[in-house]
């Protein structure tokens, strides 16, 4: 990908503070609305609305990239961790209504729950990988905010919990996914770098260390640690209740 496609928001800059504060306020407002509707037993309508809104975001984003001649197979496929999580954030709320999704909703939840770590770090060290023109700039925060919101909403309002030892199972599935995406990167060639397998992200993140292949090995280890910490924290809260 040409370097001008990359854009990183400087951490602790005015831009960083403004974007994150607005995003947090919007997520809090959505949680308040969700809580009100939950108490009124109207959370199913809320779930459906959230799922539809996030699904439309996904479709419109690809249309927008195409309309401004910015869609390219080397960087536009939804094969980044957060891109996949964004899809899950729309499917999970809709899984309550469609039979073909219902039997997978616990698995969808667990993937989103653990993968939301990526969205969390995307707010701390924001990096755009396909430019930041127009709607693309705002869509970044809508997508990543949607991931965190849906994960939080399903845990604390709808009482979804990761199953026993799900952290290691999702990590295992992730290794298969990593191998598949690495093969996709090799097949596409050029500057394809989905999941940041070929090259590390340009984010100023202390967890990004070294070059290929060491950076992906270390990121994998850090992901495993984060998955376990999320699992342990959730189990601890469940027991305390």
Collapsing DSSP states into helix, strand and coil, what is residue 205?
Answer: coil
CA distances from 86 to 57, 111, 138, 232 (A): 9, 11, 14, 24
List, for residues 138-188, the tens digit of each pLDDT value: 999 999 999 999 999 999 888 899 999 999 999 999 999 999 999 999 999
Instruction: Yes or no: say if 170 and 110 are a contact pair by the CB < 8 Å rule.
Output: yes
In the structure encoding, which two tokens stand for residue 108, read together? Answer: 């969808």
Name the DSSP class of 10.
Answer: P
**End-to-end alpha carbon distance in the chain:** 49
- Secondary structure (DSSP) of 176-237: HHHHHHHHHHHHH-TT--GGG-SS--SS--TT--SSTTHHHHHHHHHHHHHHHHHHHHHHHH
Encode pLDDT of 65-122 as tens digits.
Answer: 999 999 999 999 999 999 999 999 999 999 878 877 888 999 999 999 999 999 999 9
């Amino acid at each position: 990908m040409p370097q001008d496609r990359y854009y990183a928001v400087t951490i602790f800059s005015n831009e960083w503070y403004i974007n994150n504060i607005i995003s947090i306020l919007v997520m809090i407002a959505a949680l308040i609305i969700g809580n009100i509707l939950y108490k009124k037993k109207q959370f199913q309508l809320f779930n459906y609305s959230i799922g539809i809104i996030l699904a439309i975001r996904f479709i419109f984003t690809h249309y927008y990239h195409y309309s401004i001649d910015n869609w390219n197979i080397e960087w536009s496929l939804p094969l980044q961790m957060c891109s996949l999580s964004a899809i899950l954030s729309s499917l999970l709320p809709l899984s309550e209504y469609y039979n073909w999704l219902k039997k997978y909703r616990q698995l969808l939840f667990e993937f989103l729950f653990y993968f939301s770590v990526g969205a969390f770090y995307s707010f701390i060290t924001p990096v755009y990988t396909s430019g930041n023109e127009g709607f693309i700039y705002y869509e970044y925060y809508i997508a990543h905010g949607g991931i965190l919101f849906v994960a939080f909403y399903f845990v604390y309002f709808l009482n979804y919990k990761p199953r026993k030892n799900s952290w290691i199972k999702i990590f295992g599935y992730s290794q298969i996914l990593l191998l598949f995406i690495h093969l996709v990167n090799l097949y596409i060639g050029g500057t394809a770098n989905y999941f940041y397998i070929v090259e590390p992200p340009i984010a100023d993140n202390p967890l990004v260390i070294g070059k290929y292949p060491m950076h992906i090995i270390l990121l994998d280890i850090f992901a495993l640690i984060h998955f376990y910490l999320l699992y342990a924290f959730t189990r601890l809260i469940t027991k305390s209740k």
